């Protein structure tokens, strides 16, 4: 009986932490934005996976990311990104391919591109090559999974599936971005690692890791807008 009570208490405690983390991630940026006149994006879910590039692609790292923006300063939309990063001796080369089902997604892509360039150090500049395509993004989600298919002009580009690693405790964090002032951007997220992501229709290398963010809110200063 005592052991049963302990297990019940543990489940309640874990559930309470989980709920509080969600409330923190949901409310903090919106409250901050209200008082500081910031723009915000609330994404749920927001998973990404990291791969080694396929043999046909000269790069060091490959990312595949999908975000369901359920609320933002500009409404709701869906985003996807396929990116490659290559690190040379004197500079880094970033190749970003953004996809969005609403043109307003171009604003979020623009902000991320600007921040990427701000992360660079003077001794190690970043060369950024970025494009944005309006796409049809079909998303199926459950509590711990997301499957998305990205189509451009009736052509299916790729399908990706993410699944949270349920064997790992859920975590939450409030994070400024490196090399960028907290006044310009701030994020709050609740997440687990993602299991090996499945990708069809597009070449990827070996799965390295990733994160399944159940909810992620990001605040940006309006000076970052186009």
> What is the rounded average pLDDT of the residues 97-119?
90
CB count within 10 Å of CB 200 equals 11
Neighbour-count burial of 52, counting CB atoms closer than 10 A to its CB (0-12 exposed, 13-18 middle, 19+ buried): middle
Residue 7's pLDDT band, with cuts at 50, 70 and 90, is: very low
Query: Would you say residue 20 has pLDDT above 90?
Result: no
Domain boundaries 2-224, CATH class: mainly beta
What is the C-alpha to C-alpha distance for residues 118 and 177, in angstroms, rounded to an integer?
A: 10
pLDDT at 205: 97
CA distances for 205 relative to 51, 157, 214, angstroms? 6, 17, 25
Q: Which among 174, 175, 160 is positioned nearest to 210, based on CA atoms?
A: 160
What is the C-alpha to C-alpha distance for residues 43 and 133, in angstroms, rounded to an integer?
A: 20
User: Please, how many CA atoms are within 13 Å of residue 41, restricted to the half-sphere of its CB?
Assistant: 24
Q: Tokens in use for 146?
A: 């997301």
Residue 122's pLDDT band, with cuts at 50, 70 and 90, is: low
For residues 184, 190, 193, 197, the Cα torsion angle rounded to the nearest 10 degrees is: -80
Query: Would you say residue 114 has pLDDT above 90?
Result: no
């Amino acid at each position: 009986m005592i052991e049963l009570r302990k297990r019940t208490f543990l489940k309640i405690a874990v559930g309470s932490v989980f709920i509080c983390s969600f409330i923190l991630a949901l409310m903090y940026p919106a409250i901050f934005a209200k008082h500081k006149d910031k723009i915000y994006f609330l994404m749920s879910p927001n998973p990404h996976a990291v791969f080694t590039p396929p043999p046909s692609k000269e790069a060091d790292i490959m990312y595949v990311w999908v975000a369901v923006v359920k609320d933002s300063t500009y409404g709701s939309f869906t985003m996807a990104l396929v990116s490659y990063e290559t690190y040379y001796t004197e500079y880094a080369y970033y190749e970003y391919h953004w996809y969005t089902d609403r043109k307003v997604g171009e604003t979020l892509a623009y902000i991320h591109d600007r921040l990427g360039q701000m992360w660079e150090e003077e001794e190690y500049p970043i060369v950024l090559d970025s494009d944005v395509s309006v796409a049809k993004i079909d998303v199926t989600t459950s509590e711990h999974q997301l499957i998305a298919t990205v189509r451009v002009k009736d052509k299916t580009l790729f399908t990706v599936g993410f699944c949270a690693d349920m064997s790992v405790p859920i975590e939450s964090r409030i994070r400024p971005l490196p090399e960028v002032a907290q006044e310009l951007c701030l994020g709050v997220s609740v997440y687990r690692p993602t299991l090996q992501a499945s990708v069809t229709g597009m070449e990827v290398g070996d799965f390295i890791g990733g994160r399944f963010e159940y909810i992620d809110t990001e605040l940006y200063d309006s000076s970052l807008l186009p």
